[in-house]
Amino acid sequence: MGHSDQEARPQGRLIAAALAASLLLAVVTPAQAQDYPTRPVTLVVPYPPGGGVDAIGRIMAAKLSVALGQQVIVENHGGAGGVIGLRAVAKAAPDGYTLVVTTTGMSLPANTGYDLGKDFTPISLVSATPIVVMSHPDFPAKTMADIVAMAKKEPGKLTIGTPPAPTINYFAVEQFKSLAKVNIVIVPYKGTGPLSNDLIGGHVGLAFNTTAPALGNIRAGKIRAIAVAAAKRSAALPDVPTLDESGLRGLDVSQWWGLLGPAGLPREIVTKLNADLGEIVKLPATRARMAELGMEPVGSSPAQLGELIHADITKYRKVVKEANIRID
């Protein structure tokens, strides 16, 4: 397929989306946007309960309910690595009453039915955390060097649990496999919560997971943290080395979370939500709760979140192509 065909179709979709948005925006007047919200707001978490995205969603929902003076209701729409929930929000009316928590990796447009860079309105970053290489306490490998040695000794036998593509966890495993030149079988899970449960139960020995659903169990000794896949150590896990320190240089896959609305969300609503979130991430209670989950509070402008999304699209398209990853 040539570049002209690839460019024509997105351009056509963008024009159609712009026309549709203009019709929908005619319903949401500036006065209505200033009065927003006048009824409960739905916050879609595109993963099952119990994972990092769910934890962030519930923190935001509780604090936004107070800031907005209306209840913000969390709805979990798990499946397909977050794609199902994002598809639903992409089709929602851009009136501020349907929002979504998104995260690193969901930015890939191919085969998902949406383009995160065009079909959504960025509102604000909320937090960030590194991916952590974890194992069951009885897993024989205790370091990254041990894992690499095991994988090279018996290619294709070692398995690693991770949420499915297009999650950052999945891409981190693929990047690790490429960097270490090992053949490891990926076992996909619907979310980070179920993965943590299976890791504790010994049903999977090794995982690339976010800190939030596992931190309490790491501290309790039910899960072993082997390495942090980031440029620097995590404040929540100061004794756990980075991949760089473990001899695998160049793999920094910190995960971020942010808030989006459908494309065409009125500027007044975006400005209000961004300002509210900016105050929420500064609250001592918010910062303390995120610290408990191994997360760092991070605010941003809508434009900064948009730039990050576009950077991710470029970065992870390359990973998808090189690893021949299929995203359904």
What's the pLDDT score for residue 87? Answer: 92
- In three-state secondary structure terms, 19 is helix
Question: CA dist 146 to 55, 65, 115, 209, Å?
Answer: 32, 47, 39, 19
Contacts of residue 113, defined as CB under 8 A and 6 or more positions apart, other chains included, come to: 83, 87, 90
For residue 92, give the 3-state DSSP assignment: coil
Q: Which helix H or strand E contains 128, and what residues bound it?
A: strand 120-129
Q: Tens of pLDDT along 82-125?
A: 888 999 999 999 999 999 998 876 666 456 788 888 999 999 99
∠ CA 321-322-323, nearest 5°, is 95
Pairing of strands 296-297, 120-129: antiparallel
The closest of 312, 286, 271, 297 to 123, measured between CA atoms, is: 271
Alpha helices in the chain (DSSP H): 3-25, 30-35, 52-68, 83-90, 144-153, 168-180, 192-201, 215-219, 267-280, 284-292, 302-323
> For 52-83, how does the pLDDT look when each residue is reduced to its tens digit (9 = 90+)?
789 899 999 999 999 999 999 999 998 777 88
pLDDT value of position 19? 34
Q: What is the predicted pLDDT for the residue at 107? A: 63
Phi, psi values for residue 260, rounded to 5° = -130, 160
CATH 3.40.190.150 fits 17-129+254-323, yes or no: yes
> What is the pLDDT, as a whole number, of residue 39?
97
Q: What is the CATH number of domain 131-229?
A: 3.40.190.10
Q: Is 257 in a helix, a strand, or coil?
A: strand
Catalogue the E-assigned strands of 91-165: 98-103, 120-129, 131-135, 159-162
Domain borders along the chain are 17-129+254-323, 131-229
Signed CA dihedral, 47, 49, 53, 57: sign only: positive
Tell me how far apart the alpha carbons of residues 223 and 28 are, in angstroms, rounded to a whole number.
Answer: 49
Q: What was the pLDDT predicted at 7?
A: 36
> What was the pLDDT predicted at 111?
66
Per-residue pLDDT of the chain (328 residues; tens, 9 = 90+): 444 444 334 333 432 333 343 344 334 445 556 789 999 999 999 988 887 789 899 999 999 999 999 999 999 998 777 888 999 999 999 999 999 998 876 666 456 788 888 999 999 999 988 889 999 999 999 999 999 999 999 999 999 999 887 778 888 898 899 889 999 999 988 777 888 889 999 998 899 988 877 888 999 999 999 999 888 888 889 999 999 899 888 787 778 899 999 999 999 999 999 999 999 999 999 999 998 888 889 999 999 999 988 888 887 788 778 777 776 5
The model's pTM is: 0.73
Kind and range of the H or E run holding 255? strand 255-262
Strands 159-162 and 185-188 come out as parallel
Find where tokens 């897993």 sit: 139
Identify the pLDDT of residue 9. Answer: 40
Separation CA 101–CA 62 (nearest Å): 14
